[in-house]
C-alpha cells in the first residue's frame, strides 16, 4: 500500500504531532508499506522521517496576509497532484495540508485532529509583542486564525476525522457540532515504541534526589510554572529533588525567571535541556514524569514515560475547565497520580507522597510499563487508521466506545 502523510512541519524532536508522524511512518514501513511524507517547509530537518520514507518539501511560494492559508493550500495542491493520484491512503495532520489534498482531487483524506484552530494561541502570542507593529501583528494573526478555522470546518465536512482521545472529540463536538456528520468521527489513540522506550534500572530507593522529567513545548498552557512552584515548596520542605525539562518555546525565559523567583537555580535544580532527538535517554534517567498541562490533544509523552517505567503525575480533567486526556491514560494510584486541583501545593504533595514511599513507586512503575505494552500498540493503531480508507463505511470501529 502507498501511504502519504502530510503536515506543515516535520521533526520527531519538535513536538507531539511531529513525533506522531515519525512513529506512524516508521510503523507503516515495518508493515511493508511504501511511505511518502510531505512538509510545507522549504527544508526538512534530519529527524523528519525514518530511513526508507521519501520526504518531499512543498513550500507555498506565495504569502498573502489574512488569506495566506487559503493561498498556501491552493499553491501546495498544484504541486502534489501526481503524488495524490498514486496514493492509496492520504493522512493529514493539519487543516491546510488536508485542504491541499482535497483541492488536488482526493475525496478520501484521513484527518488526524490535534487542536481546534479556532482556539489556537496565535493571537494571544501576537499580543505579547511590543512596539508600533503590535496592532499589525495582532490583525494578521486574527485573520490567519479566522482563515484556518474556516478551512478546518471545510476539512471536517469533507474528510474522515480521527481524534487521538475522547476529550479531543468532545471539544470538536462542542465547537463544530455535527459538521460533516459524526458517523465519520473516530477515536484512535496513538501507540508507543516499547522497544525504544524501555526501563533502564533507574529505580527510586528513597536515597538521593528524586529525578523529575518533563517534555513539551514551552508554552503557558503546559503549566510548567505550577511544577516549578511545586519544586520550590519541596526544596523548602527539605526534599531533595532535581527537574529536567526538554523542549523549546516562547515561554522558556518566563520559566527561567520564575525559577529564580522561587529560589531555584536554572542549570542546577531545574535544567532546561532544549529539544532532544534521543528523548528516551532522559526518561530512563528519571524517576517520575510530571506534566500538569491544562490542554493536551492526547499526551504521547505520558505513554512514552510509562513505557520506560515512570509513574506519571498530571492534572485530571475534573480539576477544572481543562481539556486534557490524562484520565484516559493514567489510572490514579495504579500507574501515576491524577491531581484534582491545579495548584503547586497539590502537585508538591503528590510528588512528596511518591518520594516517601519507594514501594509504591516500584508498584506504579511496573504497572505503567505493563499498560504501555498492552494498551498502546502502534501496529494496532495504524491498522485501525488504514482500515478507515473506505469511509464512510465503518470498519469494525465504534467511534462512541469509551476505551
Residues 40, 105: one domain? yes
Overall number of domains in the chain: 2
Residues 239, 367 within the same domain? yes
Co-location of 24 and 69 in the same domain: yes
Q: Are residues 216 and 343 in the same domain?
A: yes
Note the pLDDT of residue 395: 34
What is the model's pTM?
Answer: 0.81
Q: How far out from the chain centre does Cα 295 lie?
A: 10
Quote the distance between the C-alpha of residue 24 and its chain's center: 13
Q: Look at 223 and 153; give whichever has higher pLDDT.
A: 223
Do 287 and 140 fall within a single domain?
A: no
The reply to whether 34 and 121 lie within a common domain is yes
**Does the pLDDT at position 121 exceed 90?**
no
Q: How many CB atoms lie within 10 A of CB 402?
A: 7
**Domain annotation covers residue 201:** no
Higher pLDDT, 129 or 244: 244
Percentage of the chain surpassing pLDDT 70?
A: 87
Among 380, 385, 297, 401, CA closest to 109: 385
pLDDT for residue 339 is more than 60: yes
Check if the beta carbon of residue 311 is closer than 8 Å to that of residue 335. yes
Residues 247 and 156 reside in one and the same domain: no
CA distance 106 to 36: 16
C-alpha 201, offset from chain centre: 27
Is the bond preceding residue 392 a cis peptide, omega within 30 degrees? Answer: yes
Query: Is 221 within the bounds of a domain?
Result: yes
- 325 sits in the region (left: phi over 0; alpha: psi -120 to 50; else beta) called alpha
Q: Is 156 domain-assigned? A: yes
* 295 domain residue, yes or no: yes
Q: Report how far Cα 167 is from the mean position of its chain's Cα atoms.
A: 13
Average pLDDT over residues 316-330: 90
Q: Is residue 395 part of a domain?
A: no
Asked whether residue 202 is domain-assigned, the answer is no
Q: Are residues 179 and 224 in the same domain?
A: no
Q: Is residue 45 domain-resident?
A: yes
Burial class, 237, CB count within 10 angstroms (exposed 0-12 / middle 13-18 / buried 19+): exposed
Cα gap 361→377, rounded to integer Å: 24
Residues 135 and 247 in one domain: no
Q: Are residues 143 and 285 in the same domain?
A: no
387 has pLDDT over 90: no
Give a yes or no: residue 396 inside a domain. no
Question: How many angstroms from the chain centroid is the CA of residue 392?
Answer: 27
| Average pLDDT of the residues in 314-328 | 90
pLDDT at 120: 53
Expressed as residue numbers, the domain containing 258 is: 210-375
Beta-carbon contacts of 163 under 8 Å, excluding residues fewer than 6 positions away, are: 112, 113, 169, 172, 185, 186, 187, 188
Q: Note whether 357 and 382 are same-domain residues.
A: no
Q: For residue 215, what is the domain's CATH number?
A: 3.40.50.2000
CA atoms of 8 and 142, how far apart (whole Å) = 19
DSSP β-ladder status, 312-315 and 110-113? unpaired
Measure the CA dihedral 139/142/148/152, to 10°: -160
Question: Does residue 303 sit in the same domain as residue 334?
Answer: yes
Residue 274, all three cell numbers: 532544549
All residues at 6 or more sequence positions from 107 whose CB lies less than 8 Å from its CB, including other chains: 158
Amino acid at each position: 500500500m502507498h501511504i502519504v502523510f502530510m503536515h506543515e512541519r516535520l521533526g520527531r524532536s519538535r513536538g507531539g504531532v511531529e513525533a506522531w508522524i515519525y512513529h506512524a511512518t516508521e510503523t507503516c514501513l515495518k508493515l511493508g508499506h511504501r511511505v511518502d511524507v510531505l512538509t510545507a517547509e522549504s527544508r526538512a530537518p534530519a529527524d523528519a522521517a525514518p530511513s526508507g520514507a521519501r520526504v518531499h518539501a512543498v513550500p507555498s511560494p506565495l504569502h498573502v496576509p489574512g488569506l495566506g492559508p487559503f493561498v498556501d493550500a491552493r499553491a501546495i495542491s498544484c504541486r502534489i497532484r501526481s503524488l495524490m493520484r498514486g496514493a492509496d491512503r492520504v493522512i493529514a495532520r493539519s487543516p491546510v495540508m488536508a485542504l491541499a489534498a482535497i483541492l488536488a482531487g482526493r475525496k478520501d483524506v484521513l484527518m488526524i485532529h490535534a487542536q481546534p484552530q479556532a482556539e489556537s494561541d496565535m493571537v494571544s502570542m501576537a499580543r505579547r509583542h511590543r512596539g508600533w507593529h503590535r496592532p499589525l501583528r495582532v490583525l494578521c494573526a486574527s485573520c490567519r486564525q479566522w482563515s484556518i478555522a474556516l478551512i478546518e470546518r471545510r476539512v471536517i465536512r469533507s474528510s474522515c476525522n480521527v481524534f487521538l482521545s475522547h476529550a479531543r472529540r468532545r471539544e470538536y463536538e462542542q465547537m463544530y457540532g455535527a459538521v460533516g456528520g459524526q458517523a465519520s468521527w473516530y477515536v484512535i489513540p496513538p501507540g508507543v515504541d516499547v522497544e525504544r522506550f524501555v526501563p533502564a534500572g533507574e529505580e527510586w530507593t528513597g536515597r538521593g534526589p528524586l529525578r523529575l522529567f518533563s517534555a513539551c513545548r514551552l508554552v503557558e498552557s503546559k503549566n510548567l510554572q505550577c511544577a516549578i512552584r511545586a519544586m520550590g515548596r519541596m526544596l523548602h520542605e527539605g526534599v531533595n529533588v532535581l527537574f529536567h525539562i526538554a523542549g523549546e518555546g516562547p515561554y522558556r525565559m518566563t520559566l527561567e525567571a520564575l525559577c529564580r523567583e522561587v529560589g531555584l537555580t536554572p542549570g542546577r535544580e531545574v535544567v532546561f535541556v532544549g529539544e532532544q532527538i534521543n528523548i528516551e535517554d532522559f526518561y530512563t534517567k528519571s524517576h517520575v514524569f510530571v506534566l500538569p498541562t491544562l490542554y493536551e490533544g492526547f499526551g504521547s509523552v505520558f505513554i512514552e514515560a510509562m513505557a520506560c517505567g515512570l509513574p506519571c503525575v498530571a492534572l485530571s480533567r475534573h480539576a477544572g475547565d481543562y481539556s486534557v486526556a490524562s484520565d484516559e491514560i493514567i489510572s490514579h494510584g495504579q500507574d501515576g497520580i491524577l491531581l484534582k486541583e491545579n495548584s503547586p501545593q497539590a502537585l508538591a504533595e503528590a510528588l512528596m507522597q511518591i518520594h516517601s514511599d519507594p514501594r509504591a513507586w516500584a508498584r506504579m512503575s511496573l504497572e505503567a510499563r505493563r499498560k504501555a505494552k498492552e494498551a498502546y500498540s502502534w501496529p494496532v493503531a495504524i491498522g485501525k487508521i488504514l482500515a478507515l480508507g473506505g469511509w464512510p463505511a465503518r470498519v469494525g470501529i465504534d467511534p462512541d466506545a469509551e476505551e
